[in-house]
Structure 1
């Protein structure tokens, strides 16, 4: 289904004449923009742009779609204006972000929401964010969801697996291996990982007791150290940086679901319903394509 994010990305490329500049205009990374345009071309069954080293040109199909895209964007803006009065009750939003979100994902989420609200961001663990929601110190949180949350008004945005990440050219890259194959590997411990204890128990149960070269709360540092060849680590797939490769481990099937949870004020107030719906829609467009 064609989304508003697709239309905005298409128009940004047309107006900027460059994928790099277009990504900056819509506040996403260039690879994310490329993925969005590729999805759009697949949905429409036609190439929209021709790219070479110096230029981006519209195809005939792209030129035909351009006036339609501009009309669609005008329609979206008109529809937005209908809900502005409902949003005025909450011009400021206190949003919690899970500490183990990737920086790229957090950037995509905040850049879209900052166009709609005056944001105050609070970072924390899943437990920290739930405590802040319960006490009314947050309005909403982008965090881990539990099965019971869906019955309590939460909105699921994406699910992803935890995988073993290894440096480029690692002997096990791209393979599916038993846990014992990792017995001689040096590990890096992501202390922010929600599955850290489960992962430790999994490897201990399978007789794997590795040496640790680094233990850190800084996810970016951990992954960069994997890329540097210091060791290997498990992490949600969305944290993978470009140079890393993955290894599938037999029996290691942990996953996580990310979504929006609300404070009692936002959850119970019918007047807040437009703001909740709007936030869920823009975040679905912003981060729903990361996996």
Structure 2
């Protein structure tokens, strides 16, 4: 039994004539008759009582009729639904990102994407970069915006949570990283003389100077904490940790209340007038790359491809208009990723 034979069967059943049915399905009448005969042979039952100029359904034909209608209708529904997915009129997109990216970059891109493709259901996951990479590899995400630092592979997001799984770098055979943004790490302190520092931080400061002040850091297991402590160790200084623990918003709030200084990604400073920014002197550890990650062993969905194009277009436009936050620059080019 084939779908084509069921379509021919319905045409004959509806018209009551082989000649008329052949015209409706646009095949020669002898061909249609042979297909109906093949269907009857396959089922082992006669489907039509053939008269001189009209045919009627037998009991077997009456039994097959509603089943054939449902099968053909289901196939047509499947075709329409697949066409809607291909045309991005419906579907699902699962995107992962670090918390610092979700409050700014991702929200802006999703607003544009949703306006263009309102039928696509959006699912957003926040987490550390290594967690997001693990979710990508497990097939739980379609795309993820992650932190990629030179010689450190895919790093956990600052303030995003403890990491798990092995570090994956740009050489990972199952993941491809498309660098999109270069972000600066900065030191922040409270404005208005609220912080009890021995001396105010200037426009620039090195890690040795920062280590003389009380620091607010995330709890152990957060990549940014490890970056700061590694920089202190490399400079031969021991930091004074005033407060440790909490998510990024909590760290920023503690700094605003004068509990100490913190090193944070520049993306999180939008809308924080209570913080004074100090640029960091140093190389390597003071900057990091934000990359769009996806698997290479499965084909991306149409929705994922559309999100990638939207992300790059929004970031490029934001960069051209000078609207990116201070310390953040767009680094994608047509030859990248």
Is the pair's TM-score, using the shorter chain for normalization, greater than 0.5?
A: yes
Contact 2:98 2:129 in 1 (8 A): yes
Tell me which protein shows more helix as a share of its residues.
Answer: 1
Aligned counterpart, 1:155: 178
Check whether the contact 2:170–2:176 (CA below 8 A) recurs between aligned residues.
no
Tell me: CA distance 1:181–1:173, structure 2 relative to 1, closer, same or farther (3 Å): closer
Distance 1:150 1:244 in 2: 39
CA distance in 2, matches of 1:230, 1:142: 31
Give the aligned partner of residue 135 of structure 2.
132
**For residues 252 and 88 of structure 1, what CA distance do their matches in structure 2 show?**
44
For residue 114 of structure 2, what is the aligned residue in structure 1?
Answer: 114
Match of 1:261 among 289, 293, 302: 293
Inter-CA distance 220–229: structure 2 relative to 1 (3 Å threshold): same
CA distance in structure 2 between the partners assigned to 1:273 and 1:94 by the alignment: 8
Segments of structure 2 that go 5 or more residues without pairing to the other structure are 1-82, 154-168, 194-198, 329-337
Q: Is the 8 A contact 1:126 1:144 kept in 2?
A: yes
Normalising to structure 2: TM-score of the pair? 0.52
Distance 1:252 1:227, change over 3 A: farther
Aligned residues: 208
Does 1:189 find its partner at 2:217? yes
**Is the Cα contact below 8 Å between 2:84 and 2:90 reproduced in 1?**
no
Q: Structure 1 residues 184-193 or 167-176, which shifts more?
A: 167-176
Question: 2: CA distance between counterparts of 1:90 and 1:260?
Answer: 23
Q: Which residue of 2 aligns with 1:236?
A: 265
Answer yes or no: is the 8 Å Cα contact 1:155–1:280 preserved in 2.
no
- How far, CA to CA, are the matches of 1:247 and 1:159 in structure 2? 18
1:164 aligned to 2:187? Answer: yes
Given the two structures, how large is their TM-score scaled by the length of structure 1? 0.60
- SS of the equivalent of 1:195 reads helix
RMSD, matched Cα = 3.3
Alignment CA distance shift 1:85-1:252 (3 Å): same
Structure 1: which 4+ aligned runs deviate by more than 4 Å? 149-153, 269-274, 285-288
Shift in Å, 1:175: 3.0
Which residue pairs with 2:204 in the alignment?
A: 176
Aligned match of 2:91? 91
Computing the radius of gyration over CA atoms, which structure comes out larger, 1 or 2?
2
Aligned to 1:221: 250
Counterpart of 1:211 in structure 2 is 240
